[in-house]
Structure 1
Amino acid sequence: MSQSGNAANEEEGLPFPRPRNVSVGAPLRWLVRGFDDFRSCPVPSLFYGFCFAGMGLLMTFVFEHAYEYAMAVTSGFLLLGPFLAMGLYEISRRHERGEGCSLAPTLTVWRRNAGNIGIFAVVLGIVFIVWARASLVIFALFYTSEMPNLSGFLKQLLVVDNLEFLAIYTGIGLIFATVAFAFSVASLPLMLDRNQDAVSSMLGSVGALLHNPAAMIVWATLIVGCTAIGFLTFHLGLVILMPLVGHATWHAYRDLIEPLETTPRPRD
């Protein structure tokens, strides 16, 4: 798999993305830089923030009416987030290069490397489908007779007898979340910035995580924390915090991946 990724890059004249080490406190610096990007282009950033808020409302609706799909829909939020954030990456890229602030170019930024982004979408889609199926199987194993209503389910979560269910459900969810996170840390920015192929982008992203486990734990915790705050504020926080995370992800990519001597200018 690694050899095929290297071969594809050699054909395009692109070296395999090399991860580099960052400090444990680097994620805080990424957020500060992301906030600077947000201030430089607030209206387009807020547009994407409202899109994230809409996704949050959908998650809440599903949880209220079919909570057994809650983990699956949560995974969908985490998996679709990087794709929705592509516009935010483009805003940060333009700000970095001193280019103008505009929403229109960010809406079609995926066309720059559509084929490889499509491959990446398929990979994450498979992860999403397996995760959703695993969620339903776990519920079926522990609730063999009848699914409790929402209030009954929430009460049962606090019962000691259900600790096994919680442990297994949370453990499986963490495994899939880690896989999705590892693939997504820097892959889409790589594909947009360098026109890198999907395989080497995902491998480079995984390599960045393996080189910086402590910083990645901090980064994942900050992302989860921002998301939780967004939901606890009746989705209003998502309007600000999700664009902030998206912009910060661009700077995470810049720090985590060794830069090219001459980075190819993306095709418009």
Structure 2
Amino acid sequence: MEQQALERGSLPKLQINPLRMEDVRAAFADGWRDFRTYPGFGLFFGAIYALGGLFIAVMLTYYHLPWMIIPVAIGFPLIGPFVAVGLYEISRRHRLGEPIAWKAVLGEVFRQRERQLSWMAFVVLFIFWIWIYQVRLLMALFLGFRIPATLEAFANVVLTTPAGLLFLAVGTVVGAVLAIILFTATVISMPLLLDHDVDFVTAMLTSMRTVIENPRPMLTFGVIVAGMAILALVPFFLGLLVVLPLAGHATWHLYRRAITANT
């Protein structure tokens, strides 16, 4: 506990380290090791994420908004970094040799509502809502206000009509820009805020600088995680049971390689 207090009790001087592609591979390898070592925790947090996505899909269908399932499903991984806080805590405790128990891990997750990480939740959700509203705006611009009532009809319009293909192209570009912005702002800041007592603005700026100074490995990491998350959505969000814990643990290990904190 004294070591934990030392890390979190003083303002650290943050140093951004150069990263190589080998660091990305090692981060995923270490993340997979953590998942295999503590599978119960990983499956628990992955299940929360998967059930959340499935619940949203069911509610959209219930309220006759099935056409929103695709944009929501694509944008849903944007909130993954916040859900993965518990996974960061497991990897942190494993590194420090601290006991890993449900009460300790969940207690630390709930304590984040009183720390700067809670502000990052607003940032993440704000960008997620921007994604949802820009989808609705683009639908109105390219498809008009008469949106198909079923998911199959919506997919048919998007994939087989000139207006639908243009909507898909513009939406993909806008979505990619939002995803890059969110990834750049959160990939390092989330684990950093869990690990040290820094303000969320400093954490976001540190995360952005890390990506800017290490664009190839950081963006490669982001593309891999995004690709895995999208593929995991296909079987009724069930792939997230594995993808979320793997990505969460890997993010922690990439953060540890990218940032040196001198107190």
- Normalized against structure 2, the TM-score is what? 0.85
Q: Deviations over 1:56-86 (max 9, x none)?
A: 31354366552236424543x2343222111
Q: How far 1:37 sits from its partner (Å)?
A: 1.1
- What residue in structure 2 maps to residue 32 of structure 1? 29
- What residue in structure 1 maps to residue 182 of structure 2? 180
- What residue in structure 2 maps to residue 8 of structure 1? none
- What residue in structure 2 maps to residue 100 of structure 1? 99
Q: How far 1:112 sits from its partner (Å)?
A: 5.1
Q: Is the 8 A contact 2:28 2:247 kept in 1?
A: yes
Q: Is the 8 A contact 1:63 1:70 kept in 2?
A: no
1:260 counterpart SS class: strand
1:14 aligns with 2:12: yes
**Where in structure 1 are there 5+ consecutive unaligned residues?**
1-11, 263-268
Q: Is the 8 A contact 1:86 1:106 kept in 2?
A: no
1:51 aligns with 2:53: no
Q: Is the 8 A contact 1:184 1:202 kept in 2?
A: yes
Cα separation, partners in 2 of 1:228 and 1:79, compared to 1, 3 Å: closer
1:18 counterpart SS class: strand
Q: Deviations over 1:112-160 (max 9, x none)?
A: 5733112222222322232222111111112224111322221122225
Q: How far 1:102 sits from its partner (Å)?
A: 1.3
Moved more, 100-109 or 210-219: 100-109
- What residue in structure 2 maps to residue 137 of structure 1? 137
1:82 aligns with 2:81: yes
What amino acid maps onto 1:157 in structure 2?
V
Q: How far 1:166 sits from its partner (Å)?
A: 1.2
Once residues 246 and 221 of structure 1 are traced to their aligned partners in structure 2, the CA distance between those partners, rounded to angstroms, is 14
Once residues 153 and 112 of structure 2 are traced to their aligned partners in structure 1, the CA distance between those partners, rounded to angstroms, is 49
Once residues 134 and 53 of structure 1 are traced to their aligned partners in structure 2, the CA distance between those partners, rounded to angstroms, is 24
Once residues 44 and 37 of structure 1 are traced to their aligned partners in structure 2, the CA distance between those partners, rounded to angstroms, is 10
- What residue in structure 2 maps to residue 6 of structure 1? none
The alignment yields a C-alpha RMSD, in angstroms, of 2.2
2:261 counterpart SS class: coil
What amino acid maps onto 1:31 in structure 2?
F
Once residues 63 and 175 of structure 1 are traced to their aligned partners in structure 2, the CA distance between those partners, rounded to angstroms, is 25
Which gives a bigger RCO, structure 1 or 2 (Cα 8 Å, sep 6+)?
2
What amino acid maps onto 2:95 in structure 1?
E
- What residue in structure 2 maps to residue 220 of structure 1? 222
Moved more, 111-120 or 45-54: 111-120
What amino acid maps onto 1:85 in structure 2?
A
- What residue in structure 2 maps to residue 91 of structure 1? 90
Q: How far 1:234 sits from its partner (Å)?
A: 3.6
What amino acid maps onto 2:50 in structure 1?
A
